[in-house]
Structure formats: structure tokens, C-alpha cells
Amino acid sequence: MNAPTSEADDTAAVKGVMLRDAWYYAAPSTAVAARATIHRTLLNEPVLIGRDADGQVFALRDTCPHRGTLLSKGTFDGREVECPYHGWRFATNGQCTAIPSQTADQRPQPGDIHATRYPVRESQGNIWVFVGGRNAVLPPIPEVPTVGHGRPQLHLVMRFPCNIDLAVIGLMDPAHGAFVHQSALWRNRKSVHEKRKSFSPVVGGLGWRMDKHTASSNSRAYRLFLGGQPQTEITYTLPSVRIEHASTGRYSYAGLTACTPVTADTTDVHHVMYWDVPPAPLWRPLVRPMAERFLDQDRRAVMAMQEGLAFSPATMLVRDADTQTRWYFKLKREWLAAAAEDRPPFNPITPTVLTWRS
């Protein structure tokens, strides 16, 4: 008997769930100046991200332990954050250092009070914040292959008015390009042809890799930019990080796309680009509008899907074009099951060849 050609979409149990205990892309390094703080909402949690006088980044829960005021609306002298309401002060590790209204014999004293601190890492021009708290040992942050000087050439962020899943699916769907991103430089309906790609599990994470292959003949932008026929490799790792690396041997490109849930129905899609094609910085004014347009096309596509899904239609996941979407939900289920059972997650992906037309 033939294998079924499509399966009913059985992803309801994990749909829209924001995965905790993970590193999330919070901001590009350039968004946080020395002696300054910014506010971000990550998975419905208010987070203050700051950079101290020595250049170190830190992250605290952005609500004052006293009465809840946003600490990021206060002042920061490079050492301590001062709440704008009653002037309680906090060191960058969250320890309270001053409660101006208290007499010496009153409780609490500053030593009794801590603002919640978030683990934070800065690397490759990106600031990652760990949202969760169950883990004694933190996993490594996502790492982008080093291209050129290793710092981003461009960072874009676009807010998608949808849950994390719809934003993420937009990143891995292989069959929408010719319809959503029609462009002379990219692809169009006529360029659609059969593709066969091999995939393997990501080691040390819940994800998969589209193994290194020669870039598709309909990726003209790539070939023009890098000059030649690049080899590309793409990895996707939970909770929401896609890393693409393309190289002709002479020039290289790396792209990091990271989706960060802001709330249950708002997601920031960050796209960070690294390239070494000279004259590297001069490409920015050309690449930025193209990349923005591309991301906005995805955003609109996702919004149209969201409007349809509001009617709760029965949907399906076809093979093999929707297999990566199925993997995403499968891995998400495994992530949640492992957390519930307090065990390490197991990557159920096995080496697979997928065939589709795009």
C-alpha cells in the first residue's frame, strides 16, 4: 500500500505555545549603548536590557519589586538602575542597594530585596536573553558561521501580528517562494522546478539541517551577489532560529533569522546578515530595502493565513513540501514532553531526502 500523501494537521496541542527555557534573540548589540537601558517584552515578560560602564550587558525583570514601575523609565549611571518612582536602586545583578524611604530600623532593608535577573549573552553583534529558569546549566547560544569580521552588516526586525508558530513556519516553508516573493532577482512561477534535498538532525539541539548543496538555479540574487554558484547549508533549531550559510569559496554570506515571541499573538522576526563581499558596507543601502521587502512579503502571507485560520478550517500537511513544518511541531511536542518529564529532549529527526517543486 502506498504511504499516505498527506496527513491531517494534528498540531493543535502545541500550537501557539511559547517555549520557555530557551535563548531568545533580544536585540542587536547596537541597540544598547554604554550606560543605557532599553525595554523589551519577551514571552510576555518585561525585560530591561542594559550595558554597564565597562561595556557588559545585563538583563533584569523590568518591573520594580516595590510597586511595579518600569525600571527602564528610570535612570542608569552605568552601575545602578534607579526606579523613577521612589528611587529604589539596583545593581546590575539585581541586588537592591538603596531604599530611600526606609529608616535604619525598618524592614525591608536593601539587602532583603532582589530584582529578578535574566541570563544574557552578547556574541556576533547580537544580544540573547534566556527566558525560563528551570535549567541549572544553560545551553549554548546559537552560533552563526563566521563571515568576514564576524559582525553584522545589517539587522532588520519586523513585528508580525501573529503567534510564534505562524512566524516560524514562514521561515521554513519551501513552497511559497515563487508565489510570495515573486521578483526578477529571486524567483517566479516559471522558475518552479523539482528539488531534492537531503536533511539530517542537528546534533546537540532540537532541529535539522538542510545539508550542504549547490544553491538553486532560481536563487539569482545569491549568485549575483556572491559571484558564482554558492554552496548553501541551512539549519533550523528550536525554539525559532534559522541559520543559513552560503559560500562560493571566495565570498560568503550568513543569515540569522530568529523569531522572538513578544506576546501570545505578536512575534518579532529578527534578520541579521553577515557578508564579506567587498566593498562590504556599501552594499547595505541596496540590500536593506530588498530584505525589508522580502520580510514584509512573508508577513503579509502569514497574516492572510491567520485570517483564514480564524475560521478554524481543517488543514493538511502534504509530503514532502510540508514535512519541515511537520518536523517543527514534532520537535515542539518533544520539547514540551521532555520539560514535563524532566528529562533531556531526544531529536526524532533521522536523515531524510525530501522532494518538492519550488
Binding stretches for ligand FES (CB under 6 A): 64, 66-67, 69, 83, 85-86, 88
127 binds, among ligand FES, Fe ion, none (CB under 5 to 8 A by kind): none
Q: Which residue has the cell 519577551?
A: 42
Give least dist CB 116 to ligand FES, A: 14
Element (H, E) at 49: strand 45-51
- State the DSSP string of 111-136: GG-B--EE-EEEETTEEEEEE----S
Give least dist CB 179 to Fe ion, A: 10
Length of the chain: 358
| Closest CB to Fe ion among residues 95, 183 | 183
Among the listed residues 26, 196, 15, 233, the one whose alpha carbon sits nearest the alpha carbon of residue 125:
26
59 binds, among Fe ion, ligand FES, none (CB under 5 to 8 A by kind): none
298 binds, among ligand FES, Fe ion, none (CB under 5 to 8 A by kind): Fe ion
Give least dist CB 133 to Fe ion, A: 33
| Closest CB to ligand FES among residues 66, 288 | 66
What's the rounded Cα separation, in Å, for the pair 195 and 216?
8
Beta bridge partners of 95: 114
| Closest CB to Fe ion among residues 196, 300 | 300
What's the rounded Cα separation, in Å, for the pair 24 and 5?
35
| Closest CB to Fe ion among residues 276, 298 | 298
Three cell numbers written together for 23: 535563548
Q: Does 244 bind Fe ion (CB under 5 A)?
A: no
| Closest CB to Fe ion among residues 62, 298 | 298
Q: Which residue has the cell 536533511?
A: 199
Give least dist CB 32 to ligand FES, A: 22
83 binds, among ligand FES, Fe ion, none (CB under 5 to 8 A by kind): ligand FES
Q: Which residue has the cell 519541515?
A: 324
Q: Does 52 bind Fe ion (CB under 5 A)?
A: no
69 binds, among Fe ion, ligand FES, none (CB under 5 to 8 A by kind): ligand FES
Give least dist CB 36 to ligand FES, A: 19
88 binds, among Fe ion, ligand FES, none (CB under 5 to 8 A by kind): ligand FES
Number of residues that bind Fe ion (CB under 5 A): 1
Q: Does 334 bind Fe ion (CB under 5 A)?
A: no
| Closest CB to ligand FES among residues 69, 216 | 69
Rounded to 5 degrees, what angle do the CA atoms 187, 197, 352 make? 145
Give least dist CB 106 to ligand FES, A: 15
85 binds, among Fe ion, ligand FES, none (CB under 5 to 8 A by kind): ligand FES
* CA 237 from centre of chain: 10
Give least dist CB 86 to ligand FES, A: 3
- State the DSSP string of 253-294: EEEEEEEEEEETTEEEEEEEEEE--SSGGGGHHHHHHHHHHH
Give least dist CB 87 to ligand FES, A: 6
What's the rounded Cα separation, in Å, for the pair 162 and 155?
21
What's the rounded Cα separation, in Å, for the pair 174 and 159?
22
| Site residues (CB under 5 A) for Fe ion, limited to 277-316 | 298
What's the rounded Cα separation, in Å, for the pair 267 and 163?
6
What's the rounded Cα separation, in Å, for the pair 322 and 271?
23
List of residues 6+ apart from 252 with CB closer than 8 A: 145, 147, 148, 226, 245, 246, 275, 276
Residues that bind Fe ion (CB under 5 A): 298
